[in-house]
Structure 1
Amino acid sequence: MLRIANEERPWVEILPTQGATIGELTLSMQQYPVQQGTLFTIHYHNELGRVWIAEQCWQRWCEGLIGTANRSAIDPELLYGIAEWGLAPLLQASDATLCQNEPPTSCSNLPHQLALHIKWTVEEHEFHSIIFTWPTGFLRNIVGELSAERQQIYPAPPVVVPVYLGWCQLTLIELESIEIGMGVRIHCFGDIRLGFFAIQLPGGIYARVLLTEDNTMKFDELVQDIETLLASGSPMSKSDGTSSVELEQIPQQVLFEIGRASLEIGQLRQLKTGDVLPVGGCFAPEVTIRVNDCIIGQGELIACGNEFMVRITRWYLCKNTA
């Protein structure tokens, strides 16, 4: 799944899919390839922001003007003048200024990130940029009338929901005996290699979903409780109700969370099985282990052929020493 910063999310609603040209700038929401770049500090209404320029663009600009892009070999005042000239369309459109006492630094952009991409041309040199740490109102000043003609700049925030890859049942005695380094076998909600998971929606609704590479989520099944999804997978342990059982022997439902997904509130109001919705969010580096919505540990997901297990790396349950 692609990730998107909260401050950039409104621009998905404002900008057309194909992007928009405003004066000398072309703005679009897109995934930008991970690469090295140069970071410049700008000043806007007593606030500081950062402008990231792709290294290839900056290198060609410097070499075309003075024959080198080696910052250590360029006089600081000359470097400032070269940068100010190259950033001129962006600075003029936003009424921002380039900070002379903050030298440019090297910085890579983020992988799997949907970001606002701004492009312009100076002297036949094309610049590609991303804004880090936006000053308040900076981009609204650039967009101007475009945002007024389209949707509001601050729509309702998305709903962030947990994404579960599987489950298991463990008694209190079994949970108490778990230690770091041990493995716990899990039952998956579907083939996770193909993108099948389960999510928990607002109101206690659960869904079996398919996440695709083009950042969409298909809803295969909607149920009122997690037990329905669990029952449709591997068999659950059930008591026949005719014999007594000790509290420590009652199976507990353990869920394994692999990440978070974000969905727009409006898209959830008339949700039904078979719907396909755009989705944001990200997968976590470790699996989070939950019982009754409480985090009890974390671990690494390990594949064993067609079976999966989680090796415990952190465990938060205290042993009963009474």
Structure 2
Amino acid sequence: MDVELPLAFEITSYAVLIAIVIADLVLAYRRPHIPSTKESALWVTFYVVLALIFAVIMFFVGGAEHAGQFVAGWLTEYSLSIDNLFVFVIIMARFSVPRKYQQEVLMIGIILALIFRGIFIMLGAVVIEQFSAVFYLFGLFLVYTAFNQAFTNHDEEEDAENKIIGFLRKRIDITDDFDGAKIRTVIDGKKVFTPILIVIIALGTTDIVFALDSIPAIFGITQSPFIVFAANIFALMGLRQLYFLLGDLVDRLVYLKYGIAFILAFIGVKLFFHALHENELPFINGGEHVEWAPEIDTFTSLIVIVASMAVATIASLLKIRSDERKNPAVADKVDAPVESDDRPDAH
């Protein structure tokens, strides 16, 4: 039988996770460079193994149900975080951010994501405690989001960002040139902002949009704020290195968005069933719970999440392989060596 997670375990976990995030932030700023494929792969592997170790610890501390909720929540948030990379690639390319400084900019985006998600997690936990029928809204919102994920692109987000950028350029002095990773610089004795400011704002607005999607999704797996936040931190760990590991490949995983959309739709339906099972709304079944509404357990959710991402990823890789056979020039471009930072002045 599962037991409640001890408060001491939660506090210790928060302290360790925050320390890891801070250490990662310091490392990114002290050594700006372009990570090699090997370095990125090692870091991503390290963070994945760290998450699995945490799941094992949670199994012994809180039981199988809590451990299963964490793994399912982590995988859900990880898949949605990978979707973030699509937008990150677009933003970095649009503003021509030098690759050497992309680590620092990405780290700022990740910190903003943690802050926004933390705020939404606290708000979500309060709303759920006071108004359990909110699961109906969460369920419908996720199904709607899943539809948008599958059948729309990022054009609307780009239009919104362009309006923000235009608004900023009219009201503050922003140079067209970068000065390392500095937000402000001095030109002709006058302090002006660099394009880094716009990039950070673009990343921040994107993070808010993704937080609105991801938080209801994970609350469909667990109602524990601790597990929700821990899963989000682990999902965002290594995202910076994953960005450099996948590179342009992220944009070529064309079926990944359908896998993510299916996960969102599945959790949306799960939330709706949960709302029916716990129903308190008087105009639905007289305020009584609906007998036929099934409760989808954590491990079923885990299987669906893993299977969805596996099918979408494999299908995308097969399409890439097929495209390369049809057009060898594409393969040559993908296999081209990544820009290196081994010059003496790159560190």
TM-score using structure 1 length = 0.22
Higher helix share: 2
RCO higher in 1 or 2 (8 Å CA, sep ≥ 6)? Answer: 2
Q: Rg bigger for which structure?
A: 1
Higher strand share: 1
TM-score using structure 2 length = 0.21
